[in-house]
Structure 1
Amino acid sequence: MRHEQPSEGALAALFCLRCHARNAARLAYRCPDCGGILRVERPLPAGRRWRTSDFVSERVTLGEGGTLMRKVRPDLLHERFHGQLYVKDETRNPSGSFKDRLVAAAVSRALALGAPGIVCASSGNAGAAAACYAANAGVPAIIVCPESTPEGKVAQIAAYGATFHRVPGDYSRSFQVGIELAAESGFANVTTTYQNAYGVDALRLVGQEILDDLSGNVPDWVAVPTSSGPLVHGVWQGFSDWSVQVPRLVAAQSEGCAPIATAFREGLQDVSPWPAPHTLASGISDPLASYPDEGSLTLSLVHATGGQGVAVPDAMILSAMHDLARRAGLFSEPTGATSLAAMRQLFDDGLIGEDDTIVCLVTGNGAKDYAAWRTADGQV
């Protein structure tokens, strides 16, 4: 028998992080009282760990999550590093990125609440995930992406048969168009910023998986490629759920679009929009123009854990991408390699101990951006 909704916590409340209001489960994207960011509140499962079926229905799931985390040679970080270096390979998700986790949960909740279809604004990976999961569930999908979206991601979206709009301007413009199309169509908005709380909620599994893979030991650092930052939130939530120390979280960004890392460097608590994104790491090319408060939420988690916001040049990202392939057998797009590039920078800056334990999340498959690999082959 196929279920329309996850097996547990289906009616979890929505909690506003600004005014602390609680609302019943529904398709809501911001607090109706104050416009604040919403977080799903759900009780811990009795006597067991979280599992995918707590968030994703049988109708929707494609086997997302539970991705491989493996130890790699420490000199992949630096020749003087003698600690433990792990990569969590999110490229193994069904459509090739960690976005499958959010989308699967958001689509599951949308269908349970009666939505006739979905809309997703994306820089590429979330759009591919949304188109993929909509095709599997048999519902229509509208995908909105910037004109600069890599062709590999565009081809993937087209293959799944979604209605596709390429929008002039950066990702923030696509984000606004997505809101408009969701309102016009009545479809659920499954955009994977903090826009859809049900999608963000499922990312707590990432933190729990890291903890379980390390047999309950807490790493010193977890590095996360970051746009608005729901994956940072997921790692934080996953460790917090089990009342253990949260590792130092690193929000890794490109110098060409670094609103969170810049605010961190300047000692600020609030993030300002980035004026003109320009980076090969298209998956994190988000200026946060319409929702800088989402960046501020992520920044607060970085501060709370004693972590770092780090911006690295594209050349370092390409070098990390190249080395992941040649020295660890991991085919990543630029965004996914930003985590390793950021940790190399922190090691060079003397902020990482030579014997620390580090986890780098690699978030997207290299097949999504062959043009970047042509650049890497020419420069590295």
Structure 2
Amino acid sequence: MKLKCINCAETYPPEMLYSCIKCDGILEVYYEKDFVKNDSNSFNANLSNTMWRYSSQLSVEHHDNIISLHEGGTPLHFSDRYKKELDGFQGELYFKDETVNPTGSFKDRLISTAISKAKEFGYEKVVCASSGNAGASAAAYAAKSGIEVVILAPQSTPKEKIVQILSYGATVLLVKGHYSDSYKLAKDLSENYGFCNLSTTFLNPYGTDALKTVAYELDNQLKGEMPDYVLIPVGAGPLLKGLYQGYSELNKSLKSVGATIPKLIGVQAEGCSPIVSAFESDQEIVSAWEGSNTIASGISDPLIGYEKDGTYTLKLIRESKGVAISVTDEEIKKAMQDLSQLEGIFAEPTGAAPLAALKKLYEKNMIDPNSRVVCLITGHGFKDMNIYQKMDNNIHYIDNVNDIDSVRRILNIPT
């Protein structure tokens, strides 16, 4: 195992590096051994239904260092009801439900691996810039490991996410400004004050590497059948990269000629969509976004100071023959309601964004009506209850339990 720069291909021994020393490029974990499809490592039967069943494909070298709360192994739901909302759709629609991870989001995969490597490298304290989900994850896994943790979050972060972070005993610094300001401060603490940085952009190569397990699981759940499209919420884009990497490795294991990967759909909020902007204007370089404004806090990332992350994600979208698309807050709210009321999945705004994008793309005839589609639902609805509280609801107040006539009228029960 080595670290390898995606730009200049410079390699480094496996140590805690956040970017290429030679060119400041993004680093990836590079494995010199061959990938083995469906390799299930039984080192610990208690973790056999988690992402750690693939431990031989991950970067933690000594199993005693693994910090796990049973992340991964999330369900894949077949859509029985929502697909009927897509007029004429005859294909297969699935929801990969990452909301059931231990702290309620896909970030647990990344943080479990990143903090395990921090332990392996001997760190005693970690820092994480977060819009909420990564912070909750880092705080929980730090509590499990006994490592000191500091979470830096924008002051606009939903209070539910801050309460969850605080519940694990983390030190929280609420930073004025947007996510990129929190990112800048976390980078300073890691570079100058001995913290291991768990921020969930492309900064920590070991954490990012773990997101390929989503593709491994999809391959297993779909019995080797590949989706035509996978829709993914995107801030900086490491989850999309995880799907790209995982399916690329699966293809390599098949040793088939002309193998491909799903079309990866990067979904951003209209109020913060630097990658979509570059995609739609045919640019190769992503520029930072000014004035982020969206209810989807999990993808409200302007990429200021690390625009290269967005540029890399854009490249992977195009290589997969996918697209980048933005959705409005109103479209996201509708998708949240549809997910919960038609499929029983309670998602935060970011988690529902792929469904909003699916509807939009399908109406533009950009999704084949006979295709196999997977939406990644990345975060639980308890992360941002305020949005749901403002929605119309079907609640009624009964003042007199003996007034059965009022109850019958409410429930449309005939006399």
Q: Name the TM-score class by shorter chain.
A: over 0.9
Normalised TM-score (structure 2)? 0.86
- Correspondence list, 1:187-336, <5 A: 187-243=195-251, 244-336=259-351
- Partner secondary structure for residue 392 of structure 2: helix
1:49 to 2:51 alignment: no
Note the alpha carbon deviations across 1:249-286, whole angstroms, 9 max, x for none: 00001100001111111111111111110000000000
Corresponding pairs, count: 367
1:171 to 2:179 alignment: yes
The one-letter code sitting in structure 1 at the alignment partner of 2:39 is R
| Aligned-partner Cα distance in 1 for 2:391–2:295 | 10
- Partner secondary structure for residue 361 of structure 1: strand
State the Cα distance separating 1:61 from its structure 2 match: 0.7
Kindly indicate whether the alpha-carbon contact (under 8 Å) linking 2:3 and 2:14 is maintained by their aligned counterparts in 1.
yes
State the Cα distance separating 1:75 from its structure 2 match: 2.6
The one-letter code sitting in structure 2 at the alignment partner of 1:197 is P
| Aligned-partner Cα distance in 1 for 2:84–2:246 | 27
1:63 maps to which of 70, 73, 79? 70
State the Cα distance separating 1:45 from its structure 2 match: 4.8
Note the alpha carbon deviations across 1:216-260, whole angstroms, 9 max, x for none: 111110000000000000011111002142100000011000011
Change in 2 beyond 3 A, CA 1:83/1:137: same
| Aligned-partner Cα distance in 2 for 1:29–1:295 | 16
Per the alignment, residue 24 of structure 1 pairs with 13
Per the alignment, residue 24 of structure 2 pairs with 35
Per the alignment, residue 125 of structure 2 pairs with 117
Normalised TM-score (structure 1)? 0.94
- Partner secondary structure for residue 86 of structure 1: strand
Per the alignment, residue 397 of structure 2 pairs with none
Change in 2 beyond 3 A, CA 1:105/1:358: same
Note the alpha carbon deviations across 1:322-343, whole angstroms, 9 max, x for none: 1100000000000000011111
| Aligned-partner Cα distance in 2 for 1:304–1:290 | 24
Over 4 Å off, 4+ runs: 45-48, 56-59
Per the alignment, residue 5 of structure 1 pairs with none
The one-letter code sitting in structure 2 at the alignment partner of 1:25 is P
Larger radius of gyration: 2
1:366 maps to which of 363, 381, 388? 381
| Aligned-partner Cα distance in 1 for 2:318–2:35 | 29
Change in 2 beyond 3 A, CA 1:266/1:307: same
Question: Which stretches in structure 2 are left out of the alignment for 5+ residues?
Answer: 41-50, 252-258, 394-415
RMSD: 1.4
The one-letter code sitting in structure 1 at the alignment partner of 2:190 is A
Kindly indicate whether the alpha-carbon contact (under 8 Å) linking 2:35 and 2:249 is maintained by their aligned counterparts in 1.
no
State the Cα distance separating 1:316 from its structure 2 match: 0.4
State the Cα distance separating 1:82 from its structure 2 match: 1.9
Kindly indicate whether the alpha-carbon contact (under 8 Å) linking 1:218 and 1:245 is maintained by their aligned counterparts in 2.
no
The one-letter code sitting in structure 2 at the alignment partner of 1:121 is A
- Partner secondary structure for residue 368 of structure 2: coil
Question: Which stretches in structure 1 are left out of the alignment for 5+ residues?
Answer: 1-11
